[in-house]
Structure 1
Amino acid sequence: MAKKKEVTVEEKLRALFDLQLIDARIDEIRNVRGELPLEVEDLEDEVAGLNTRLEKLNSDLETIDHKIKEKKNLIEESKGLMKKYAEQQKNVRNNREFNALSKEVEFQELEIELAEKHINEFYAQIEQKKAVIEQTQERVKERQNHLDHKRNELNEILSETEKEEEALIKKSDDYKKQIEERLVKAYQRIRDNVKNGLAVVPIERGASGGSFFTIPPQIQMEIAGRKKIITDEHSGRILVDQELAQEEKEKMEAMFKKM
């Protein structure tokens, strides 16, 4: 049985830096999208809320319209009763009956007056609600146009980057499988704890990438020797030498272009 080839520290460093380049490219794609997906989601919620408000306002109009019809029917009924009582007054036998009918007529007059007052109030409510509906419709139109614009913007970015992102995520997973689990976990932990997501960085001008802290010459030599994995004592990032970083960048850029 053939002995499994032992992976050297240099090979581990190259694999980790390649993984970092892939993940950084994914980050870059996602940064281009930025807050757009959240913006689109917020706008969708806002438009849905405005449309729900419109439905409620239109439902209120129907309810008020129904109440106006009820009051108009009540007025017609009262007018009918007044006519009936007026006819009955012609055939009364005494003043008591005449006065009783007169009170009924007065009561129906008050009912009509109250109903007309309510009808006028309902018409005022209708005008008010129609004004709110008009304002809300204008707001819906404006927000819907903004939503359509943002959706088109997002779809454009997605159509340009979605396939590449999917391919890169697959590559990232493939590279993780090639690296021992302990190192992948350490890499991910560092990546989660640093602001720009860079867990593996090259030495630049005697300091670790993105840092102002100078690395002692002895440590720089050890990093260049690629015999052990060394981390920056200030940021915790895994360090690689500039030459290795340049070689891997060129290799990965060629791969990215083929995607």
Structure 2
Amino acid sequence: MAKKKEVTVEDRLRALYDLQLIDSRIDEIRNVRGELPLEVRDLEDEVAGLNIRLEKLVASLEVIDNDITGKKNLMEEAKSLIKKYSEQQKNVRNNREFNSLTKEVEFQELEIELAEKHIREFKVQIEQKKQVISETKERLKERQNHLKHKKNELDAILSETEKEEQALFQKSEDYKTQIEERLVAAYNRIRKNVKNGLAVVPIERGASGGSFFTIPPQVQVEIASRKKVITDEHSGRILVDAALAEEQKAKMEKLFSKL
């Protein structure tokens, strides 16, 4: 039975840096998309909100139309009653009956005046709502066009990068299975805590990548020996030597070109 190959510290460091390069590539792809998915979502919400507003405005117009119809019916009824009471006044037997009918006529006339006043107010409301509807439709059209443009922009980026991102994500998961859980946990924790997501960095000009803090020569020698996993005391990042980094970059560039 073949003896299982022992995983050295150098193997772990190479796997960790490979994982970093893969995840950094995924970060780059996501940065290209930037805020576009959020913009599209916000625009979709805005368009949905404008559509709901339009529906409510149109429904309120129907209510006002029904109110106007109701007032017109009331006016017709009042006119019929006025005609009826006026006819009855011709056949009254005394002044009390005549005065009583006169009051009824006056009341119906007031009802007609009030209904006409309400109808005028309703018509003003209709004009105002029609103006708001017109403005809302214009805003909706502009937002829909903007949404279409942003969706096309996002779809174009997704069509170019989605396949690669999925392949890279799978590679990232595969590489994690090659590294001990404690190291993967440490790597993930560091990535979350640093702005650019760089948990594993090479030494550049005597300092850890992206840092101005110089690493003591003795520590640099230890890192280059690849005998243990060493972290930067200032940033907490895992450190690898420049030669190892260059070798892994060349290897991963070939992998990325195939994806």
Structure 2 residue aligned with 1:137: 137
User: d(CA) in 1 for partners of 2:193 and 2:115?
Assistant: 71
- Mapping of residues 113-124 of structure 1, within 5 Å: 113-124=113-124
State the identity %.
79
Kindly provide the CA deviation profile for residues 4-46 of structure 1, in whole angstroms up to 9, marking residues without a partner as x: 2210111111100000000000000011111111111111111
| Structural mapping, 1:1-259, within 5 Å | 1-259=1-259
Which whole-Å CA distance do the structure 2 matches of 1:173 and 1:80 have between them?
A: 85
Distance in 1 (CA, whole Å) between partners of 2:239 and 2:202 is 6
CA distance in 2 between counterparts of 1:227 and 1:107 reads 105
Q: Counterparts of 1:169 and 1:253 in 2: how far apart (Å)?
A: 16
Please report how far the alpha carbon of residue 190 of structure 1 lies from its aligned counterpart in structure 2 after TM superposition.
Answer: 1.0
Which letter maps to 1:47? V
RMSD: 0.9
Q: Distance in 1 between matches of 2:95 and 2:18?
A: 111
The residue identity in structure 2 corresponding to 1:105 is: V
Q: Could you tell me which amino acid in structure 1 is paired with residue 35 of structure 2?
A: E
Using the alignment, how far apart are the partners of 2:94 and 2:195 within structure 1?
100
The offset of 1:144, in angstroms, is 1.0
Structure 2 residues not aligned, in runs of 5+: none
TM-superposed deviation, 1:103:
1.0
Cα separation, 1, equivalents of 2:171 and 2:50: 44
In the TM superposition, residue 3 of structure 1 has moved relative to its aligned partner by 3.1
In structure 2, give the amino acid aligned to 1:160: E
Matched AA of 1:190: I
User: Could you list the per-position Cα deviations for residues 86-113 of structure 1 after superposition, in whole angstroms to 9, with x for gaps in the alignment?
Assistant: 1111111122111111111111100000
1:215 match: secondary structure:
coil
Stretch of structure 1 that moved more, 216-225 or 118-127: 216-225
CA distance in 2, matches of 1:137, 1:30: 34
The one-letter amino acid of 2:86's match is A
| Deviation digits for residues 104-135 of structure 1 (CA, Å, limit 9, x no counterpart) | 11111000000000000000110111111111
Alignment partners' CA distance in 1, 2:95 and 2:186:
107
Number of aligned residues: 259
CA distance in 2: counterparts of 1:236 and 1:95, whole angstroms: 107
Structure 1 residue ranges (4+ consecutive) displaced by more than 3 angstroms after TM superposition: none
Relative to the length of structure 1, the TM-score reads: 0.98
Letter in 2 for 1:57: L
Q: Which moved more, 1:108-117 or 1:93-102?
A: 93-102
Could you tell me the TM-score, scaled by structure 2's length? 0.98
